[in-house]
Amino acid sequence: MTGRSSDDLPLAAEFPPASYGQWRKLAEQVVNDARIEDRLESRTADDLRVKPLYARVPNASPVAGRRPGDRWQVLQRIDHPDPAASNTEALHELENGANGLVVVGAGSAGAHGYGLNAAEGLIERVLRGIHFDAGIAIEFDLSPQTKDLPLALATLVKGQGIAPSAVDIRFGFDPLGAVILGGGFPLPWSEFGPLAARLAAELAGKGFTRHLVVADGRIIHGAGGTEVQELAYALATAVAYLRAFEASGISIDNARRMIFFRLAADADQFLTIAKFRALRKLWQRIEESCGLAPAAAFIGAETAWRTMTRDDPYVNIVRATIATFAAGLGGADAVTVLPFTAARGLPDRFARRVARNTQLILLDEANLAKVADPAAGSGWNEDLTTQLGRAAWAQFQEIEAAGGAASAIEQGLIQEKVAAARAQLERDAAARKLVLVGANAFPDVGDASVAVLDVAKVEVPPMPTAIAVEPLPPVRLAEPFERPA
């Protein structure tokens, strides 16, 4: 080992050292007279530059997220409209490897036609037999019509004599997400924001002080937005909630602990890893601007709806595996995998099992959670993280200059950018520049033999709106290539 750097790999000693200059000379011979930048570099949807070769970044530090060696939470969706059926599935999931549940409200960003309503006593029936103080995470994916579900759970926990500090509940209120998803403010934000803050203060008074509201970037990604747009929106939404809480008398330190994040994870593993890392760095910058010592934000992930295919659904398993891999390596604290048949209807137990086991295999057999921020120091990762962070910060500043997230939504600033990005994605898919295996590439011409539950979609009445805005409903990019249902 004398004279060898501790960073050298033993196998590398068997080969002569190679330099970037040598690689470039060989690459230039392959591309002939074309510039390497033109032939071998690529651009993301945000026009970020992706180079063909990167050097290691020797002085990079891991991004603080999950504690080193900690597993991310394996969440399973509870979205059957019948509370008894949902309870059966919830218990089954927890008995077979999941350690958290996402209670999906009808009409929410992740409902996709199903989910629970807000009937009286429903939450007690859905979660019957679950010990809330046994380390099980409960997260809500809410719509305005189901906003009372978390309050019912808080009452249930208190009624059982369980200390709020002993439970892991993410309440998931997202008033701005509901506005941009549904297309309208029920009240002007000057009145709506304080209502959300009063709700948070009420829950805090009962002892529930963490993860009350969510800044949910899935809405932007699901509507066709870019990674930068998703990050900027999530950051701007979180800052809007921070301001509303502080204005109501909640200390800024307590307010930041009431906020958590959700992002979409898709099959572009490099961008997904960098996106999750970039969000942590961006939020740290907000905390420092507020005079706070940064604390690791809670960031959940859900595999991307927009890349799901209805025809040839088995390919969705591959996409979900890559997305879960990327979210885990990017430092997600919790991951939800959409079952591979979700675009066909309400998934059956087999599809749910595949979703659950996708995570368990990556955790228990691939041991992905053993190393904290394993891609830290890799040239591509550090470069993409930095580029995403800078571009998202610039868009965040645009939103702030427009008066903040609520005002930007009302003006249509965010929706306009997302609509342009969605249109470009659709053009790329039509031209097969964006490849969707099973849809616009290598489609399965036969009808895949998969089953879904025979459950009708849930009709959700619209909420009254005082100020209409352009909505951002979710899209699936494969839909134009699919056979009529």
The pLDDT tens digits of the residues spanning 152-183 come to 999 999 999 999 999 999 999 999 999 999 99
- Burial, 306: exposed, middle or buried (Cβ in 10 Å; 0-12, 13-18, 19+)? buried
The amino acid occupying position 50 is: V
Question: What pLDDT is attached to residue 7?
Answer: 57
Q: What is the pLDDT of residue 376?
A: 92
End-to-end CA distance of the chain: 65
User: pLDDT at position 313, please?
Assistant: 94
pLDDT in the model for residue 97: 96
Residue 320 contacts residue 337 (beta carbons within 8 Å): yes
- Collect the ranges in the chain with pLDDT lower than 50: 1-4
Strand-pairing partners, residue 104, are 141
The single residue listed with the structure tokens 């939504």 is 409
Q: Which domains does the chain have, with CATH numbers?
A: 73-413 (3.20.20.240)
Could you write out the DSSP letters of every residue in 325-364?
HHHHHTT-SEEEPPPTTTTTSSB-HHHHHHHHHHHHHHHH
List the beta bridge partners of residue 396.
none
Contacts of 366 (CB under 8 A, 6+ apart): none
Beta-strand runs (E) in 30-146? 42-43, 49-50, 73-78, 100-104, 137-141
**CB half-sphere exposure, 214, CA atoms < 13 A:** 27
Rounded-to-integer distance, Cα 23 and Cα 345, Å: 50
Percent helix / strand / coil, the chain, rounded to 5: 45, 10, 45
Are 54 and 380 in contact by the 8 Å Cβ rule? The answer is: yes
442 alpha carbon, distance to own chain's centre: 28
CA–CA distance, 129 with 106 (Å, rounded to integer)? 23
CA distances from 352 to 78, 344, 356 (A): 10, 13, 6
pLDDT recorded at residue 2: 44
Alpha-carbon span 474 to 22, nearest angstrom: 47
Q: Bridge-partner residues for 116, per DSSP? A: 105
Type of residue at 92: H
Q: In whole angstroms, what is the distance from residue 396 CA to residue 50 CA?
A: 22
Alpha-carbon distance values, 127 to 122, 162, 220, 355 (Å): 9, 15, 30, 21
pLDDT (tens digit per residue) in 120-137? 899 999 999 999 999 999
- What is the reported pLDDT for 15? 82
CB 469 within 8 A of CB 179: yes
Counting every residue written for the chain, the total comes to 485
Cα–Cα distance, 254 to 158 (Å, whole number): 21
User: In angstroms, rounded to a whole number, what is the distance separating the alpha carbons of residues 160 and 155?
Assistant: 9
Cα–Cα distances (Å) from 84 to 11, 98, 116, 213, in that order, read 58, 19, 11, 28
- Cα 245 to Cα 261: distance, rounded to the nearest angstrom: 16
pLDDT value at position 33? 66
Q: Could you give the CA distance from residue 271 to residue 418 in angstroms, rounded to a whole number?
A: 18
**If we measure between CA atoms, which residue out of 242, 244, 221 comes closest to residue 233?**
221
Q: Give CA separation, 226 vs 30, 44, 270, 475, in Å.
A: 33, 9, 14, 13
What is the per-residue DSSP string for 428-474?
Answer: HHHTTSS--BTTTBS---S-----B---PPPP-PPPP-SEE------
- Give the pLDDT of residue 1: 38
